[in-house]
Amino acid sequence: MTKSLRILGIDPGFDRTGFGVIDEQGNKVSWVAHGCIQTKATDEFPARLQAMRDELKSVAKKYKPDCVAMEQLFFQTNAKTAIKVGMARGVLLITLADLGLEVVDVMPTQVKQGLTGYGAADKRQIQTMVQRILALKTIPKPDDAADALAIALVGATLYRRQQQIKK
């Protein structure tokens, strides 16, 4: 029997970071939790990064994931925003490394392809598939949390594949 796997999916951001937790065993996946790490817009940027780090530690401690799937930065039209999101992602990565958690990088196109079979699927299509796959009554909200669940779903497959390659 395939070992159960708990995956924390992360959709990084500096204002709001989505997280989603799923359990996966074989072909069965189940929802555990989802939400957002929200920072205060009135705080200085370094304080926002600290708050994000501290909240991620709390989430990881509460849900005890076996691994983490995090979306890679793909494209950002605003360079200033891209730099801040990149810094936030760096803080998240070092926090996860400090916690001893392995991170699987997931590209946005992999999420779209993995959940819908279509690499250019829109956000609504992804959210609908997350709802269906996890047998949820409604589409998870906010969008960042739904995205994090999608990242976790695809990350589960990528993580298992990486583990097979390492053997």
Cis peptide before 12 (omega within 30 of 0): no
Q: Which two tokens stand for residue 123?
A: 């956000």
Distance CA 34, CA 140 (A): 8
- Beta pairing class for 16-25 and 28-38: antiparallel
- Residues involved in catalysis: 11, 71, 144
Q: What is the pLDDT of residue 166?
A: 76
CB neighbour burial string for 130-162, b if at least 16 within 10 angstroms, e if fewer: bbebbeeeeebeebbbbbbbbbbbbbbbbbbee
pTM, entire model? 0.94
Q: What is the pLDDT of residue 76?
A: 61
Q: What is the pLDDT of residue 75?
A: 62
Q: What is the pLDDT of residue 2?
A: 64
The domain total for the chain is 1
SS3 per residue for 17-52: EEEEEEEEECCEEEEEEEEEEECCCCCCHHHHHHHH
pLDDT tens, N- to C-terminus, the chain (167 residues)? 568 899 999 999 889 999 999 999 888 999 999 999 999 999 999 999 999 999 999 999 999 999 999 999 766 677 888 888 899 999 999 999 999 999 999 999 999 999 998 888 888 999 999 999 999 999 999 999 999 999 999 999 999 888 778 77
Q: What is the pLDDT of residue 74?
A: 66
- Beta pairing class for 102-106 and 67-71: parallel
Domain extent for 13: 5-166
CATH code for the domain in which residue 109 is found = 3.30.420.10
